[in-house]
Amino acid sequence: MESNKFSNTDAFGRWRGETISITSKEDEKRLASYMTKVYGWMFLGLAITAVVAFLTASSPQVMTYLITHRMLFLGLFLGELFLVGYLVVRVHKLSAATATLLFLTYAAVNGIVFSLLLLAYTGSSIASTFAITAGTFGVMSAVGYFTKQDLTSFGKIMFMGLIGIIIASVVNIFLHSTALYWLISYVGVAVFVGLIAYDTQKIKAYAMIEDAEMRKKGAIMGALALYLDFVNLFIMLLRLFGSRN
């Protein structure tokens, strides 16, 4: 039986296999206000990434340093993984302000890494791919928001697909297989398109958390999930349709 009192989720709003129901105007307003905050934080993260990437790419000295010092680039990449992992694992013990700072820091560091894409691909292909990503994100997020069907099982399939992409990507570092590269890209698009809908539905439950501090952290974690979906979908589409310099 569905409940709008959050009994179908754990202490942080993660699915237990059921979906929530919104049964009053007050619930609808609360949900709409909450999702607005989530999208706001997500778009702020994307904006920070874009600005940092542009500023970094605009400095020949910085770009030369990044390209010639591969260990620095590797350190930035590992730093990103650490920030996300730390935020996910420690979110219950962090304050909402600290969680927000870690999310925005991650977005800034990701901007430095993304600056290499601005050099690798033409500006027009980056702009067109971003537009396609934004449109796809909007449609799939709307699907996740408005659908009445529980996407839990679907989300589990997408998560398994994500694990497969990660493993295949690591393997292809050594194989350098063109066929596997394209397979990862196509499967990646499908996986992240699906995750956008699933994560949007999952985030809706965060709005029903009674504890205000946990609700704020839920908004940041929701923004992070959608940010990662958007960024990874953008990368996969750019690999498929982007024109290299």
pLDDT of 18: 42
Q: Mean pLDDT in runs of 10 for the chain (245 residues)?
A: 38 43 77 96 98 96 92 91 94 94 97 93 95 98 95 95 96 95 97 98 89 93 97 97 91
Closest to 114 in 3D by CA, of 153, 72, 73: 73
- What pLDDT, on a 0 to 100 scale, did the predictor assign at position 20? 57
The span from the CA of 18 to the CA of 12, in Å, is 15
Which alpha helices (H) appear in 91-147, and where do they start and end?
96-120, 123-146
Global pTM? Answer: 0.90
Q: What count of Cα atoms within 13 Å lies in the side-chain half-sphere of residue 94?
A: 21
Phi, psi of 93 (to 5 degrees): -95, -10
Are the CB atoms for 156 and 202 separated by under 8 Å? no
How much is the pLDDT for 70?
85
Contact assessment for residue 87 and residue 102, using Cβ atoms and an 8 Å cutoff: yes
Q: Which of 102, 118, 191, 180 is nearest to 155 (CA)?
A: 191
- CA distances from residue 210 to 11, 33, 117, 206, 218 in whole angstroms, order as listed: 10, 15, 42, 9, 11
Q: Which residues pair with 15 in a beta bridge?
A: 9
Are 116 and 149 a contacting pair, CB within 8 Å? no
